[in-house]
Amino acid sequence: MQLLQKIKYIKSIREGRQTRIDKDSLVINPLEIERHLKNRLKNLRQVKIKIIKQYEKKRVLRVFDVIEPRKKIVPKDSDYPGVISSVTNVGFGETILLKNIVVVITDKRKKDWKPILEHTEQFEEKSVYSKMNLICMEIYENNNVSTKDYYTDLYKAGLLLSTYICKADDFKSYDEEILLNIENRRNSKYRIGYFFQLCSSQYAGEKLGPVCYGRTPENFLPTIISPTMVIDGAITRNLTEEGFDTYHIQNNSIIYNLLTDNDIDFPGVVIAVSSLNHIEREKNAIIAANLLKTHLKVDGVIMTKAFGGASNLDLESLAEKLKKADVSSVPIIQITSMENKLSDSLIFKGDTFKHIVCSGWTHEKVHIPNDVDAIFAKGNTMMEIEYSMEIEYIKGIIDNLGSNHLSVVEG
Amino acid sequence: MRTHRIIHYINQFFGQIGGEKSAYQEPIYKEGPVGPGSFLDKAIKNGKIIGTIICGDNYAVEHSDKLKAFANDIISQKKPDIFIAGPGFFSGRYGLACGSLCSFVKEQFDIYCITGLYEDNPAVDLYREHIDIIKTKANAAGMKDAIEKFAHIFSVYGVSSGENIRQYFFPKGLLENESCDKPASLRSIDMVKALLDGMDPPTEIHLPDRVAPEKAVLGKELCDCKIALITDGGLVPSGNPDQLKTRATTKFLKYGIQNIDTLKKGDWQVMHEGYDNRYVLEDPNRLVPLDALRFFEKEKKIKQIYDDLITTTGVATSFAVSQKIGQEIGTLLVKNGVDAVILTST
């Protein structure tokens, strides 16, 4: 299976009569986009779009998701299958990627204004989004649209917008091509797999949404999936703003690094959701361990999770099974407690994980200036903004999937 | 160039006055290095030990004010820019004197103070937040290693940010994010490769082996038991009067339920961001089964329900905080004659 990613770097963004790519600029017509989205989503009454140019000083409130613009060109009409396209296979063929630009969806129903995206010089080194061009979108729906339908439309609108602006016909050339191939590594020195726990609120609540080819996490069993499928639209992020952004799934740092390391044979990813109870945890761990050891035949596994203490227990349970099968495992975790000793911050048993990578402490507070204009602000929202905020509420700083450069030390 | 002026503190043993019999030695001052100070003086290329304060271990602990007054006079006169104490290794009294003096001198004179202690020395937890303490071995067999660490620390003192010497110190009690050259994904791949190569790569978090608590045994019939209701589901009276956080809490709360037969909808709310609490809000008894337990109380299946509902929030709660909360709740329950607990977790 081969996936060719054709990359275009967008240097600037502006509004114009027609949405298109003009050399290295993206031109958008908000009314044209609104028409397109309303044609696809019957509940939409209005779409508000605002652009934030690179190096423009702005703040985005109530961020629901961040998406990198991508569009499948081979096979056609296969973007985010099961969510905005009919269910079809992805992970192969050709996909257009726009870099240096992201679609930011905001959630107007959210009561508080977190999380935020800081598009300021202060955050250029901290957040992956702070130096990019942004297309920000807020949707307004018809009366009596349920919470569940609103969030479903909100997510779909973001995906539809992110594919629409790629408009493949306008491309004359690409800045870069990446060929991702998972088949030619049989004689590599290491055989390493990836266990990817998806965003997985599992109860039939308002934010239960698609995670894999459009299906929701309920009763989801661990399964094998191609690494290229994960980054090519098969995996989506549920409807919660927690966990990771769609951008991070699209740019899954572990997958890209495993696929491009010539010493590594990377036969596949096992995806799963967080377990609701001990019995499910045991069952899921047994299945996942079997898939990794017996079917993917890996010697080592990297594990990531979305959030939550229970998901730590999931990783630990799987690691125990893998250890018995003589498979080494390393989890990437984040510290979400306030403790001052790292060893007290996790609920892992010491004899399971001897080797852990830590990608950040979410409670680090950073200064948030009050002299930054916020888009889509309501009333006096700006006055409510605290002067220091924990980085877990600032988009693009911590990536549960391993792209950020943070680690945690005891000071 | 030996620019730094250092005062060194040692006990009576290392000060070559005597052993336990000399533990009440009053503080004295000698010019230049003494005992291990001589080795330290040679090792620190950019500093010089100009004098040594020596004091008996018992005196230092029992008359700490007098020792501090003595040190205050010496440092006022000699005007060092660095104060080194010990290393005190695993010695309890010596370690406390080292930590206490360093803390005092730092506060009084705002000069750099440092000591060295073994990890189980009680002075580590007492003083690590205030002063720099390097990790040493348990006894004087670790003197050479400790002196080398001191020398390395001073070789970069005032020159670099000291990132490469951070490992020598006990943490001061705050977590910090630091930037790494490689992203977490590459670090994890490197770690797995090293494991597959049969190596033991350094972990970014070292976890201690946890010991599972012993299971309690109920020593009497249920009908003779006082039962407490506890939940980590974050149930609190409406309005959240005690400001329980929805995550990472460090406390538990108790609310009187002695005159309540059932937890009514609307009287309670959930401060917990980790589960779908709609069913609990609809009927709080589904989280804390007070209604059912009252039934059993009336039926005399149990003797009594403990007067307070104990509640906390089990989200992003660390092992250490959980342990602390658990011990506090346990103490409270034992003190109030509770025999058993129904603990509902979400």
Task: Count the alpha carbons within 13 Å of A261 in the hemisphere toward its beta carbon.
Answer: 22
Could you read off the pLDDT tens digit of each residue along chain A, which spans 411 residues?
899 999 999 999 999 999 999 888 999 999 999 999 999 999 999 999 999 999 999 999 999 999 999 999 999 999 999 999 999 999 999 999 999 999 999 999 988 888 999 999 999 999 999 999 999 999 999 989 999 999 999 999 999 999 999 986 556 678 999 999 887 666 789 999 999 999 877 666 777 899 999 999 888 999 999 999 999 999 999 887 777 899 999 999 999 999 999 899 999 999 999 888 889 999 999 999 999 999 999 999 999 998 777 788 899 999 999 999 999 999 999 988 766 677 777 777 767 888 999 999 988 888 888 788 888 876 655 545 556 788 999 999 999 999 999 999 876
Find the closest chain B residue to A301 by CA distance.
B192
Helix H or strand E encompassing A105:
strand A101-106
Best residue in B166, B167, B185, B250 for a mutation probing chain A (most A CBs within 10 Å): B185
Nearest to A350 among B191, B196, B207 (CB): B207
Query: Is pLDDT larger for residue B175 or for residue B60?
Result: B60
**Cβ atoms within 10 Å of B68's Cβ, excluding its own:** 18
Question: Is the whole-model pTM more than 0.90?
Answer: no
Question: Which DSSP symbol is given to A199?
Answer: P
Q: Which residues of A touch B173 (CB under 8 A)?
A: 340, 410-411
Percent of chain B at pLDDT > 70 equals 97
Find the closest chain B residue to A357 by CA distance.
B204
Nearest to B276 among A203, A253, A355 (CB): A203
pLDDT tens digit sequence for B176-197: 899 999 999 999 999 999 999 9
Q: By the CB < 8 Å criterion, does A262 face chain B? A: no
pLDDT of residue A184: 66
pLDDT tens digit sequence for B261-290: 999 999 999 999 877 788 899 999 999 999
pLDDT tens digit sequence for B102-140: 999 999 999 999 999 998 787 887 888 788 999 999 889
- Are the Cβ atoms of B317 and A309 closer than 8 angstroms? yes
pLDDT of residue A152: 94
Rounded distance between C-alpha atoms, residue B9 and residue B113, angstroms: 11
Mean pLDDT along residues B65-73: 94
Which value does ipTM take for this structure?
A: 0.96
Sign of CA pseudo-dihedral A110, A113, A116, A121: positive
Rounded distance between C-alpha atoms, residue B164 and residue A406, angstroms: 17
pLDDT exceeds cutoff 80 at B319: no
- Are the Cβ atoms of B172 and A410 closer than 8 angstroms? yes
pLDDT exceeds cutoff 60 at B159: no
Question: Which DSSP symbol is given to A125?
Answer: T
| Residues near A332 by beta carbon (within 8 Å), at least 6 away in sequence | A254, A302, A303, A304, A357, A358, A359, A400, A401, A402, B184, B185, B188
- Are the Cβ atoms of A357 and B278 closer than 8 angstroms? no
DSSP conformation letters of B7-35: EEEEETTTTTS-SGGGTTPPPEEEES--T
pLDDT tens digit sequence for B13-28: 999 999 888 999 999 9
Nearest to B175 among A332, A333, A411 (CB): A411
pLDDT of residue A210: 93
Q: Which residues of B touch A299 (CB under 8 A)?
A: 196
Give the distance from residue A49's alpha carbon to the nearest chain B alpha carbon, in angstroms. Answer: 31
- Are the Cβ atoms of B177 and A301 closer than 8 angstroms? no
pLDDT of residue A387: 65
- Are the Cβ atoms of B205 and A391 closer than 8 angstroms? no
- Are the Cβ atoms of A363 and B183 closer than 8 angstroms? no
Number of inter-chain CB pairs under 8 A, A vs B: 196
DSSP conformation letters of B145-175: HHHHHHHHHHHHTTTS--GGGGGGBPP-S-E
- Cβ atoms of A298 and A396 closer than 8 Å: no
Long-range contacts from A291-296, C-beta under 8 angstroms, 24+ separation? A291/A222, A291/A223, A291/A224, A292/A193, A292/A195, A292/A322, A292/A327, A293/A322, A293/A325, A293/A327, A295/A224, A296/A193, A296/A224, A296/A267, A296/A268, A296/A270
Query: Is pLDDT larger for residue B68 or for residue B215?
Result: B68
Q: By the CB < 8 Å criterion, does B182 face chain A? A: yes
pLDDT of residue A203: 66
- DSSP-H helix ranges across A41-134: none
- Are the Cβ atoms of B174 and A410 closer than 8 angstroms? yes
pLDDT of residue A381: 54
The residue type of A200 is S
pLDDT exceeds cutoff 60 at B162: no
Sign of CA pseudo-dihedral B286, B288, B292, B294: negative
Q: Which of B239, B290, B283 is nearest to B265 (CA)?
A: B283
